[in-house]
Structure 1
Protein backbone atom coordinates (compact mmCIF):
# COMPACT_ATOMS: atom_id res chain seq x y z
CA UNK A 1 0.00 0.00 0.00
CA UNK A 2 1.34 3.40 -0.92
CA UNK A 3 -0.73 6.38 0.12
CA UNK A 4 -0.08 10.03 -0.48
CA UNK A 5 -2.03 11.77 2.25
CA UNK A 6 -2.77 15.41 2.90
CA UNK A 7 -2.14 16.49 6.46
CA UNK A 8 -4.79 19.01 7.46
CA UNK A 9 -4.80 19.32 11.23
CA UNK A 10 -2.27 19.49 14.04
CA UNK A 11 -2.89 18.94 17.72
CA UNK A 12 -4.06 21.65 20.09
CA UNK A 13 -1.68 24.51 20.76
CA UNK A 14 -1.36 24.54 24.58
CA UNK A 15 -0.27 28.19 24.52
CA UNK A 16 -3.26 29.49 22.56
CA UNK A 17 -5.85 26.71 22.88
CA UNK A 18 -6.62 26.86 19.14
CA UNK A 19 -8.16 24.18 16.95
CA UNK A 20 -8.79 23.85 13.26
CA UNK A 21 -12.60 23.84 13.20
CA UNK A 22 -14.61 20.74 12.39
CA UNK A 23 -16.40 22.76 9.70
CA UNK A 24 -13.10 23.27 7.87
CA UNK A 25 -12.28 19.57 8.16
CA UNK A 26 -15.67 18.62 6.75
CA UNK A 27 -15.19 21.04 3.86
CA UNK A 28 -11.76 19.65 3.05
CA UNK A 29 -13.10 16.10 3.11
CA UNK A 30 -15.91 16.93 0.69
CA UNK A 31 -14.01 19.04 -1.84
CA UNK A 32 -11.69 17.87 -4.62
CA UNK A 33 -8.02 17.23 -3.74
CA UNK A 34 -6.79 20.27 -5.67
CA UNK A 35 -9.36 22.46 -3.93
CA UNK A 36 -8.15 21.15 -0.56
CA UNK A 37 -4.60 22.11 -1.48
CA UNK A 38 -5.77 25.58 -2.46
CA UNK A 39 -7.73 26.10 0.76
CA UNK A 40 -4.66 25.25 2.83
CA UNK A 41 -2.36 27.31 0.61
CA UNK A 42 -0.05 24.43 -0.22
CA UNK A 43 0.97 22.25 -3.17
CA UNK A 44 1.76 18.61 -3.81
CA UNK A 45 5.44 19.53 -3.45
CA UNK A 46 4.87 20.56 0.16
CA UNK A 47 5.22 23.72 2.18
CA UNK A 48 8.27 26.01 2.10
CA UNK A 49 10.27 26.35 5.31
CA UNK A 50 9.05 29.86 6.14
CA UNK A 51 5.41 28.74 6.04
CA UNK A 52 6.24 25.70 8.16
CA UNK A 53 7.76 27.92 10.86
CA UNK A 54 4.82 30.33 10.74
CA UNK A 55 2.27 27.52 11.09
CA UNK A 56 4.21 25.87 13.89
CA UNK A 57 4.06 29.17 15.74
CA UNK A 58 0.35 29.56 14.99
CA UNK A 59 -0.89 26.04 15.74
CA UNK A 60 1.76 24.64 18.07
CA UNK A 61 3.01 21.04 18.15
CA UNK A 62 0.99 18.24 16.58
CA UNK A 63 0.52 16.19 19.71
CA UNK A 64 -2.26 15.04 21.98
CA UNK A 65 -2.55 16.94 25.24
CA UNK A 66 -1.64 14.65 28.12
CA UNK A 67 -2.47 15.04 31.77
CA UNK A 68 0.47 16.44 33.69
CA UNK A 69 2.08 13.97 36.09
CA UNK A 70 1.38 14.66 39.78
CA UNK A 71 3.96 16.61 41.73
CA UNK A 72 5.95 14.93 44.50
CA UNK A 73 3.91 16.53 47.27
CA UNK A 74 0.67 15.39 45.60
CA UNK A 75 2.05 11.85 45.46
CA UNK A 76 3.08 12.11 49.12
CA UNK A 77 -0.40 13.25 50.15
CA UNK A 78 -1.97 10.45 48.08
CA UNK A 79 0.35 7.92 49.73
CA UNK A 80 -0.86 9.08 53.14
CA UNK A 81 -4.56 8.63 52.28
CA UNK A 82 -4.89 4.86 52.70
CA UNK A 83 -7.34 2.84 54.83
CA UNK A 84 -4.45 1.35 56.81
CA UNK A 85 -3.07 4.77 57.69
CA UNK A 86 -6.58 5.97 58.50
CA UNK A 87 -7.07 3.19 61.04
CA UNK A 88 -3.67 3.78 62.64
CA UNK A 89 -4.19 7.53 62.77
CA UNK A 90 -7.62 7.09 64.37
CA UNK A 91 -6.22 4.71 66.98
CA UNK A 92 -3.41 7.16 67.74
CA UNK A 93 -5.95 9.95 68.36
CA UNK A 94 -7.90 7.67 70.70
CA UNK A 95 -4.64 6.88 72.48
CA UNK A 96 -3.98 10.59 72.99
CA UNK A 97 -7.20 10.86 74.98
CA UNK A 98 -6.98 7.52 76.78
CA UNK A 99 -3.24 7.43 77.55
CA UNK A 100 -2.48 11.14 78.02
CA UNK A 101 -5.41 13.52 78.47
CA UNK A 102 -7.71 11.39 80.64
CA UNK A 103 -5.01 9.25 82.22
CA UNK A 104 -3.70 9.82 85.71
CA UNK A 105 -0.39 11.71 85.82
CA UNK A 106 1.52 8.63 86.93
CA UNK A 107 -0.08 6.48 84.17
CA UNK A 108 0.50 8.81 81.22
CA UNK A 109 2.44 7.20 78.38
CA UNK A 110 3.32 8.30 74.86
CA UNK A 111 4.68 4.90 73.85
CA UNK A 112 1.59 3.71 71.96
CA UNK A 113 1.18 7.06 70.21
CA UNK A 114 4.82 7.11 69.09
CA UNK A 115 4.60 3.55 67.75
CA UNK A 116 1.40 4.25 65.81
CA UNK A 117 2.65 7.53 64.32
CA UNK A 118 5.92 5.84 63.34
CA UNK A 119 3.97 3.11 61.53
CA UNK A 120 1.93 5.73 59.67
CA UNK A 121 5.05 7.62 58.60
CA UNK A 122 6.85 4.44 57.55
CA UNK A 123 3.86 3.19 55.53
CA UNK A 124 3.43 6.58 53.84
CA UNK A 125 7.10 6.96 52.93
CA UNK A 126 7.39 3.42 51.56
CA UNK A 127 4.34 3.82 49.34
CA UNK A 128 5.43 7.29 48.23
CA UNK A 129 8.90 6.06 47.26
CA UNK A 130 7.52 3.12 45.26
CA UNK A 131 5.00 5.27 43.37
CA UNK A 132 7.52 8.05 42.80
CA UNK A 133 10.04 5.64 41.26
CA UNK A 134 7.43 3.94 39.06
CA UNK A 135 6.05 7.27 37.80
CA UNK A 136 9.55 8.53 37.06
CA UNK A 137 10.40 5.34 35.16
CA UNK A 138 7.18 5.64 33.14
CA UNK A 139 7.98 9.24 32.20
CA UNK A 140 11.50 8.25 31.12
CA UNK A 141 10.13 5.44 28.93
CA UNK A 142 7.58 7.82 27.40
CA UNK A 143 10.36 10.29 26.57
CA UNK A 144 12.31 7.54 24.79
CA UNK A 145 9.44 6.80 22.39
CA UNK A 146 9.63 8.93 19.25
CA UNK A 147 7.05 8.50 16.48
CA UNK A 148 7.99 9.70 12.99
CA UNK A 149 6.30 9.95 9.61
CA UNK A 150 7.43 10.58 6.03
CA UNK A 151 6.83 14.21 5.02
CA UNK A 152 7.46 16.00 1.74
CA UNK A 153 8.22 19.71 1.87
CA UNK A 154 9.36 22.23 -0.70
CA UNK A 155 12.96 21.70 -1.73
CA UNK A 156 13.00 17.99 -0.84
CA UNK A 157 13.65 15.48 -3.59
CA UNK A 158 11.92 12.73 -1.61
CA UNK A 159 9.88 12.42 1.61
CA UNK A 160 11.93 12.51 4.79
CA UNK A 161 11.23 11.05 8.21
CA UNK A 162 10.51 13.62 10.91
CA UNK A 163 8.79 13.64 14.31
CA UNK A 164 5.00 13.65 14.15
CA UNK A 165 4.93 16.58 16.57
CA UNK A 166 6.54 18.80 13.89
CA UNK A 167 3.71 18.38 11.37
CA UNK A 168 1.67 21.44 10.45
CA UNK A 169 -1.56 21.97 8.49
CA UNK A 170 -0.68 21.74 4.80
CA UNK A 171 2.11 19.17 5.06
CA UNK A 172 2.19 16.37 2.48
CA UNK A 173 2.44 13.04 4.31
CA UNK A 174 3.32 9.69 2.73
CA UNK A 175 1.96 6.56 4.41
CA UNK A 176 2.66 2.92 3.68
CA UNK A 177 1.54 -0.42 5.10
CA UNK A 178 1.82 -0.54 8.88
CA UNK A 179 2.17 3.23 9.36
CA UNK A 180 0.20 5.10 11.99
CA UNK A 181 -1.96 7.95 10.69
CA UNK A 182 -0.18 10.94 12.28
CA UNK A 183 -3.07 13.42 12.27
CA UNK A 184 -6.38 14.23 10.60
CA UNK A 185 -5.53 13.86 6.92
CA UNK A 186 -7.10 14.42 3.52
CA UNK A 187 -6.24 11.64 1.06
CA UNK A 188 -4.91 12.86 -2.27
CA UNK A 189 -4.03 9.52 -3.87
CA UNK A 190 -4.28 5.96 -2.58
CA UNK A 191 -3.75 2.40 -3.75
CA UNK A 192 -5.23 -0.66 -2.01
CA UNK A 193 -6.10 1.49 0.98
CA UNK A 194 -7.01 -0.25 4.23
CA UNK A 195 -7.21 1.47 7.60
CA UNK A 196 -7.44 -0.44 10.88
CA UNK A 197 -9.73 1.24 13.40
CA UNK A 198 -9.18 -1.31 16.17
CA UNK A 199 -7.56 1.25 18.48
CA UNK A 200 -10.69 3.43 18.19
CA UNK A 201 -13.49 0.85 18.10
CA UNK A 202 -11.92 -2.10 19.93
CA UNK A 203 -13.02 -4.38 17.08
CA UNK A 204 -10.43 -6.33 15.08
CA UNK A 205 -12.66 -6.32 11.98
CA UNK A 206 -14.08 -2.99 10.69
Structure 2
Protein backbone atom coordinates (compact mmCIF):
# COMPACT_ATOMS: atom_id res chain seq x y z
CA UNK A 1 0.00 0.00 0.00
CA UNK A 2 1.39 3.40 -0.95
CA UNK A 3 1.86 6.24 1.53
CA UNK A 4 -0.84 8.24 -0.25
CA UNK A 5 -3.27 5.33 -0.01
CA UNK A 6 -2.64 5.29 3.73
CA UNK A 7 -3.57 8.96 3.88
CA UNK A 8 -6.83 8.22 2.13
CA UNK A 9 -7.49 5.37 4.56
CA UNK A 10 -7.03 7.88 7.37
CA UNK A 11 -9.48 10.23 5.71
CA UNK A 12 -12.04 7.44 5.47
CA UNK A 13 -11.65 6.75 9.20
CA UNK A 14 -12.13 10.45 9.87
CA UNK A 15 -15.30 10.51 7.76
CA UNK A 16 -16.64 7.40 9.43
CA UNK A 17 -15.80 8.30 13.03
CA UNK A 18 -14.00 11.60 13.64
CA UNK A 19 -16.27 13.90 11.67
CA UNK A 20 -19.56 12.49 13.01
CA UNK A 21 -18.26 12.78 16.58
CA UNK A 22 -17.36 16.45 16.06
CA UNK A 23 -20.14 17.36 13.65
CA UNK A 24 -21.68 19.88 16.03
CA UNK A 25 -18.34 21.64 16.44
CA UNK A 26 -17.73 21.78 12.69
CA UNK A 27 -21.26 23.17 12.17
CA UNK A 28 -20.54 25.86 14.76
CA UNK A 29 -17.22 26.75 13.09
CA UNK A 30 -18.98 27.04 9.74
CA UNK A 31 -21.74 29.25 11.14
CA UNK A 32 -19.70 31.41 13.52
CA UNK A 33 -16.25 31.32 11.92
CA UNK A 34 -13.02 30.65 13.76
CA UNK A 35 -12.08 32.42 16.97
CA UNK A 36 -8.92 30.76 18.33
CA UNK A 37 -7.31 32.49 21.28
CA UNK A 38 -3.80 31.19 20.64
CA UNK A 39 -1.42 31.22 17.70
CA UNK A 40 1.31 28.58 17.59
CA UNK A 41 4.37 29.10 15.41
CA UNK A 42 5.92 25.67 15.05
CA UNK A 43 8.36 23.72 12.90
CA UNK A 44 7.27 21.85 9.78
CA UNK A 45 8.90 18.71 11.18
CA UNK A 46 6.42 15.84 10.79
CA UNK A 47 7.12 14.63 14.33
CA UNK A 48 5.86 17.80 16.01
CA UNK A 49 2.13 18.40 15.53
CA UNK A 50 0.83 21.21 17.80
CA UNK A 51 -2.76 19.94 17.65
CA UNK A 52 -1.60 16.54 18.93
CA UNK A 53 0.77 17.93 21.55
CA UNK A 54 -1.85 20.27 23.02
CA UNK A 55 -4.75 17.84 22.44
CA UNK A 56 -7.05 20.49 20.97
CA UNK A 57 -10.17 20.38 18.85
CA UNK A 58 -10.56 22.02 15.43
CA UNK A 59 -10.79 25.80 15.73
CA UNK A 60 -8.89 26.09 19.01
CA UNK A 61 -5.43 27.09 17.78
CA UNK A 62 -4.19 29.02 14.76
CA UNK A 63 -1.02 27.30 13.53
CA UNK A 64 1.81 28.40 11.25
CA UNK A 65 4.60 25.93 10.55
CA UNK A 66 7.89 26.46 8.78
CA UNK A 67 11.51 25.32 8.91
CA UNK A 68 12.80 25.77 12.50
CA UNK A 69 9.65 27.63 13.65
CA UNK A 70 11.16 30.94 12.58
CA UNK A 71 9.64 34.41 12.60
CA UNK A 72 11.40 36.92 10.33
CA UNK A 73 11.76 40.49 11.56
CA UNK A 74 9.23 43.13 10.54
CA UNK A 75 10.05 44.61 7.16
CA UNK A 76 8.17 46.36 4.39
CA UNK A 77 10.41 45.45 1.46
CA UNK A 78 8.66 43.94 -1.58
CA UNK A 79 8.30 40.19 -1.41
CA UNK A 80 6.09 37.38 -0.23
CA UNK A 81 5.92 37.52 3.54
CA UNK A 82 4.02 34.40 4.48
CA UNK A 83 4.76 34.26 8.21
CA UNK A 84 4.22 37.99 8.57
CA UNK A 85 0.86 37.75 6.80
CA UNK A 86 -0.27 34.91 9.07
CA UNK A 87 0.90 36.81 12.15
CA UNK A 88 -0.91 39.94 11.01
CA UNK A 89 -4.10 37.96 10.45
CA UNK A 90 -3.91 36.25 13.85
CA UNK A 91 -3.10 39.39 15.81
CA UNK A 92 -5.12 42.02 13.96
CA UNK A 93 -8.11 40.07 12.60
CA UNK A 94 -8.57 37.08 14.89
CA UNK A 95 -7.24 39.08 17.85
CA UNK A 96 -5.55 36.13 19.53
CA UNK A 97 -4.46 36.72 23.10
CA UNK A 98 -1.39 34.48 23.01
CA UNK A 99 1.38 33.70 20.54
CA UNK A 100 3.74 30.81 21.24
CA UNK A 101 6.92 30.05 19.34
CA UNK A 102 7.50 26.32 19.79
CA UNK A 103 10.84 24.84 18.86
CA UNK A 104 11.65 21.16 19.26
CA UNK A 105 14.39 18.62 19.77
CA UNK A 106 16.41 17.17 16.89
CA UNK A 107 15.44 20.08 14.62
CA UNK A 108 17.09 19.69 11.22
CA UNK A 109 16.83 23.39 10.46
CA UNK A 110 18.62 24.37 13.66
CA UNK A 111 21.27 21.73 13.04
CA UNK A 112 21.88 23.13 9.54
CA UNK A 113 22.09 26.63 11.00
CA UNK A 114 24.71 25.38 13.44
CA UNK A 115 26.86 23.45 10.95
CA UNK A 116 26.22 25.89 8.08
CA UNK A 117 26.37 22.86 5.80
CA UNK A 118 23.97 24.42 3.31
CA UNK A 119 25.73 27.75 2.99
CA UNK A 120 26.59 28.48 -0.62
CA UNK A 121 24.12 26.01 -2.13
CA UNK A 122 21.84 27.05 -4.98
CA UNK A 123 18.12 27.69 -4.51
CA UNK A 124 16.31 24.40 -4.97
CA UNK A 125 19.38 22.50 -3.76
CA UNK A 126 19.43 23.85 -0.23
CA UNK A 127 19.79 27.55 -0.90
CA UNK A 128 16.26 28.45 0.14
CA UNK A 129 16.81 26.70 3.47
CA UNK A 130 20.21 28.35 3.92
CA UNK A 131 18.76 31.80 3.35
CA UNK A 132 15.90 31.14 5.76
CA UNK A 133 18.00 29.83 8.62
CA UNK A 134 20.49 32.61 8.00
CA UNK A 135 18.30 34.46 10.49
CA UNK A 136 20.11 32.40 13.12
CA UNK A 137 23.67 33.33 12.09
CA UNK A 138 24.16 35.88 14.86
CA UNK A 139 22.67 33.63 17.54
CA UNK A 140 24.84 30.76 16.30
CA UNK A 141 28.13 32.46 17.18
CA UNK A 142 27.98 32.16 20.99
CA UNK A 143 26.55 28.63 20.73
CA UNK A 144 29.37 27.48 18.44
CA UNK A 145 31.97 29.22 20.62
CA UNK A 146 30.77 27.43 23.74
CA UNK A 147 29.73 24.00 22.44
CA UNK A 148 31.23 23.63 18.98
CA UNK A 149 28.99 22.70 16.06
CA UNK A 150 28.38 19.01 16.71
CA UNK A 151 26.76 16.98 19.46
CA UNK A 152 23.47 17.09 21.30
CA UNK A 153 24.45 19.88 23.71
CA UNK A 154 25.30 22.18 20.81
CA UNK A 155 22.12 21.29 18.94
CA UNK A 156 19.91 21.79 22.00
CA UNK A 157 21.50 25.17 22.67
CA UNK A 158 20.87 26.19 19.06
CA UNK A 159 17.26 25.01 19.25
CA UNK A 160 16.70 27.09 22.38
CA UNK A 161 18.43 30.10 20.81
CA UNK A 162 16.17 29.89 17.75
CA UNK A 163 13.06 30.27 19.90
CA UNK A 164 14.54 33.39 21.49
CA UNK A 165 15.41 34.85 18.08
CA UNK A 166 11.84 34.39 16.87
CA UNK A 167 10.45 35.97 20.04
CA UNK A 168 12.75 38.96 19.56
CA UNK A 169 11.66 39.23 15.92
CA UNK A 170 8.01 39.09 16.94
CA UNK A 171 8.57 42.21 19.01
CA UNK A 172 9.79 44.11 15.95
CA UNK A 173 6.18 44.12 14.66
CA UNK A 174 4.47 47.34 15.76
CA UNK A 175 1.10 45.62 16.29
CA UNK A 176 2.71 43.00 18.52
CA UNK A 177 4.62 45.59 20.57
CA UNK A 178 1.51 47.69 21.08
CA UNK A 179 -0.70 44.80 22.12
CA UNK A 180 1.95 43.31 24.40
CA UNK A 181 2.40 46.72 26.00
CA UNK A 182 -1.31 47.17 26.70
CA UNK A 183 -1.70 43.62 27.96
CA UNK A 184 -3.97 42.23 25.25
CA UNK A 185 -1.29 39.91 23.84
CA UNK A 186 1.17 37.63 25.60
CA UNK A 187 4.18 35.98 23.96
CA UNK A 188 5.49 32.57 25.00
CA UNK A 189 8.51 30.49 24.15
CA UNK A 190 8.19 26.73 24.11
CA UNK A 191 10.35 23.72 23.32
CA UNK A 192 9.05 20.20 22.79
CA UNK A 193 11.54 17.44 23.57
CA UNK A 194 10.55 14.67 21.16
CA UNK A 195 12.59 12.00 22.90
CA UNK A 196 10.85 12.67 26.23
CA UNK A 197 7.43 13.91 25.12
CA UNK A 198 7.85 16.91 27.42
CA UNK A 199 7.05 20.55 26.71
CA UNK A 200 9.43 23.12 28.17
CA UNK A 201 8.46 26.76 28.63
CA UNK A 202 10.85 29.70 28.45
CA UNK A 203 11.28 31.93 31.49
CA UNK A 204 12.27 35.14 29.75
CA UNK A 205 13.61 36.66 32.96
CA UNK A 206 16.22 33.93 33.41
CA UNK A 207 16.49 32.77 29.80
CA UNK A 208 15.98 29.17 30.94
CA UNK A 209 13.55 26.55 29.64
CA UNK A 210 11.70 24.54 32.28
CA UNK A 211 9.35 21.57 31.98
CA UNK A 212 5.73 22.66 31.89
CA UNK A 213 3.72 21.66 34.99
Q: Is the TM-score greater than 0.5?
A: no
- Shorter-chain TM range is under 0.3
The TM-score, its normalising length taken from structure 2, stands at 0.19
Taking CA–CA contacts closer than 8 Å with sequence separation of 6 or more, which of the two structures ends up with the larger relative contact order?
Answer: 1
Compare CA radii of gyration and give the structure with the larger one: 1
The TM-score, its normalising length taken from structure 1, stands at 0.19
